[in-house]
Amino acid sequence: MSGGAARRVAGIVLAAGSSTRMGANKLLLELDGEAVVRRAARTASAGGLDPVVVVTGHEHEAVTAQLHGLGVTAVNNAEHAKGTHTSVAAGVASVRGDCDAVVVVLADMPFVTPAMLREVVARYGVAGHNRSRPPPNSRPPLVVSRYGGDVTAPPILYDRALFGELATMDSRCGRAVVRRHLDEAVLVDWPAEASRDLDRPEDYEGALEELERVREGAGPAREELERADEPGGTRGGLGRTLEEATAHG
C-alpha cells in the first residue's frame, strides 16, 4: 500500500443470525458447491484479510464445522439474539490488539468478491479522503462500499481509531458510526447487483441461478470466482440444499 508501511487489516465475517425469513439456517445452505458461510470465509481470506474471524451464534457448532481447514478463527457470540452490533463488538474484541483496521463482511452477501475486498483495503492507503484539507499522511478512518450510487453496506473498513465506538454501539450497528465519520470516509462504488443478499428462499434460488450463469460464462467474473477457490485447498463438506435444510428443521 502507498503512504508508508503496509497495515495489517483483519476480516470480521458476521455469521451469527438465525435466518428466520429463510426458514432454515442460510449459512449452511449449499452455494456454488460449498456452504454459504464457508464461501464467505474463503472470500475474506482470498481478499487478503488477515486474520479472518467468523463470528457465529445460531447453530454455532454446525456453522463452525463448515470452516474446517480454512485457517480462520470462529468466535461464538452468545448474545447474538440481541442484534448484529453484538457480533461486530465480539469480532473487534478478538482482533483489536493485532491489527490496524478491520473489514466487516456479511456472510450472506455472496456477490462480494475477493477483488472488492482488495480494493477496499487498497483505498485505506489513500491519504486524501473526502475532507478538503486532510492531515498530512493521514489515512481515512472509514472505507465504505456504496452500491448503485446511494446504498452503503459492507464490506466496510474501520480504522482502529473507531474500535472503541464499534465496541459500544447500540442496535443501529455500524450505521451510526458511518454517519458520524462519513465526511472523513473514502467511498468505493459498486454496481447495485453486488449488494444482493440471502434473506428469503427466492433470494437463494436467484443466487444459485446467477452463479450458474457466471460459471458457464467467461471473463473477469468467472476468473474472480475461480481465484476465490484457492485458499484452504479443497472445499470440504458441502452445505445443504434449501429442501434438505427445511426438512431437518
pLDDT at 189: 96
CA distance linking residue 146 with residue 228, whole number of Å: 22
pLDDT at 97: 79
pLDDT at 55: 98
pLDDT at 19: 86
pLDDT at 113: 96
CA distance linking residue 62 with residue 152, whole number of Å: 31
Tens digit of pLDDT for each residue in 107-165? Answer: 999 999 999 999 999 999 764 445 444 444 467 899 999 999 989 999 999 999 999 99
Averaged pLDDT for residues 13-36: 92
pLDDT at 98: 76
pLDDT at 248: 46
Percent of the chain exceeding pLDDT 90 equals 59
The per-residue DSSP string of the chain comes to --SSSPPPEEEEEEE----TTTTS-GGGBEETTEEHHHHHHHHHHHTT-SSEEEEEBTBHHHHHHTTTTS--EEEE-TTGGG-HHHHHHHHHHHHTTT-SEEEEEETT-TT--HHHHHHHHHHTT-SS-SSSSPPTT---SEEEEEETTTEEEEEEEEEGGGHHHHHH--TTTHHHHHHHHGGGPEEEEE-GGGG----SHHHHHHHHHHHHHHHHS-SHHHHHHHHHTSTTSS--S--B-HHHHHHT-
Tens digit of pLDDT for each residue in 54-78? Answer: 999 999 999 999 999 999 999 999 9
Q: Of 170-184, 204-218, 223-237, give the range with the top mean pLDDT.
A: 204-218
Which residue ranges make up each domain of the chain? Answer: 9-230
Q: Kindly report the CATH number that applies to the domain delimited by 9-230.
A: 3.90.550.10
pLDDT at 233: 38
Which residues 6+ apart lie within 8 Å of 181 measured at CB? 141, 142, 162
pLDDT above 70 for 229:
no
pLDDT at 232: 39
Confidence of residue 50 (pLDDT cuts 50, 70, 90): very high
End-to-end CA separation in angstroms for the chain: 47
Tens digit of pLDDT for each residue in 157-199? Answer: 999 999 999 988 776 666 788 988 989 999 999 999 999 999 9
